[in-house]
Structure 1
Amino acid sequence: MTTASSKIGGLTRRQEATVAIGAFTAIGDIPRLREDLTQGLEAGLTISEIKEILIQMYAYAGFPRSLNGLGTFMALLEERRANGISDLTGADPTATIAALSALDGAESQLGSHLRIALNTGLTEADLRSLVTVLRTRVGQAPGDRADAALDKVLATAKG
């Protein structure tokens, strides 16, 4: 972990935190991950940027490690909110979900991103609204793909 005033080589504090978050997620070192998640927020990483790092770890370190990292991050955010700390939110995953919904044949990835969205703070109602926007502004087929994938994700989660 780095201190708030350190800078290693040409990396910024945000980049240093990104390196540590990725590595500690991959090896499953939750206590050190938690420390560097805090460092990342304090260095100016947004909630969405950190979520994206943790989501990327799914491809490289596997779903359990990625999910553990996300769970650790969500618990840290709750603790910070309870202590009156407001962190920058940044963008959300709806653009990725919309893109995958618009592409025929990307249902598997769409399902994964819908699960991730549910595990990182979006609600079923939020995602149902996204389906409505897809149907009304983009087209019936993308809305139907998103709706079917969401139904499948929710049925799996409940069953």
Structure 2
Amino acid sequence: MTNTTTAKHRARAAALALGVAMAASSASTSAAAQTIPAQESRTMTTQSTAPAADTLSAQQQAILPIAAFAAAGDIAKLNAALNQGLDAGLTISDAREVLVQLYAYAGFPRSLNALTELMKVLDARKQRGIQDAPGREPSHAIPQGDALRAAGTANQTKLVGQPVAGPIFEFAPAIGEYLQAHLFGAIFERDNLDWQSRELATVAMLSALPGAEGQLQGHVGYSMNTGLTAKQMQQAVQVLSERVGADSGRRASEALAKVLAARAR
């Protein structure tokens, strides 16, 4: 496959992940900027640069049902998933970060409802004598204003593997600003949850939302850009199928198949 064809395929995947079906990246994007360096791809986390294993940790697995049930608004199942996740070693901060991030994919109402449920779960566990580890706060102050958008743009480019552009961002420039400032800036600058965990959470959220298959496919690819392996993503699909439901697992499986097929060309 030629460099031009490869660039078009990756631009299309990036656009799909941001809700721009079949949009191509801007013609001015250089070919060198459109392929994430292999070594950088293997080490792109905010907490660890160790080579990825072939299995997800218990904490990573626990994030998947929490994120999926929160996105679906299934509070009863979210309650159980939160308890299981905390028992598996997630800190309060880990769970809270996932549920804050939810607002970018499923909206503020479900994020607020999920955070309220986490508070109830923690209170009930405390009454039973369980002291959950608090976790940690971000290691640095989050930038503001223009500096925040610049940081978000850099994070977005690193995660996607190329600068993101397309007709939708010319038609509605505000959506690009919100993505860069809020999602990839204000959220992804919070390094108390690593990028692999954030992307696993995103994959789980999108797998629970019918009609978000394009974005799901994009974020499966971004998950692998953080260093998660094909075997780990296959395990994520299995966890979603077994612990969330057949529909969620099917959507994630189809997205992974498309990503792996594209990368094999």
Q: TM-score, normalised by structure 1?
A: 0.55
Please identify the structure whose Cα radius of gyration is greater.
2
Distance 1:31 1:99 in 2: 34
Cα drift, residue 104 of structure 1: 4.6
Q: SS where residue 90 of structure 2 aligns?
A: coil
Cα drift, residue 92 of structure 1: 2.6
Match of 2:95 in 1: 50
After TM superposition, the structure 1 = structure 2 runs for residues 1-159 of structure 1, keeping only pairs within 5 Å, are 10-92=55-137, 95=140, 98-101=141-144, 103-104=145-146
Any idea what the Cα deviations from partners look like across 1:87-111, whole Å, max 9, x if unmatched? 011113684xx3144x4576x95xx
Specify every segment of 5 or more residues in structure 1 that has no aligned partner in the other structure, as ranges. Answer: 1-8, 114-159
Cα drift, residue 83 of structure 1: 1.4
Q: Which has the higher contact order (CA 8 A, sep 6+)?
A: 2
Q: 1:30 to 1:94 in 2, by over 3 A?
A: farther
Q: TM-score, normalised by structure 2?
A: 0.34
Alpha-carbon RMSD: 2.4
State the identity as a percent: 47
Any idea what the Cα deviations from partners look like across 1:90-136, whole Å, max 9, x if unmatched? 113684xx3144x4576x95xxx8xxxxxxxxxxxxxxxxxxxxxxx
Distance 1:100 1:25 in 2: 28
Aligned partner letter, 2:131? S
Aligned residues, how many?
99
Distance 2:143 2:104 in 1: 17
- Please identify which structure carries the higher helix content: 1
Specify every segment of 5 or more residues in structure 2 that has no aligned partner in the other structure, as ranges. Answer: 1-53, 149-180, 187-265
Aligned partner letter, 2:104? A
Q: SS where residue 65 of structure 1 aligns?
A: helix
Q: SS where residue 89 of structure 2 aligns?
A: coil
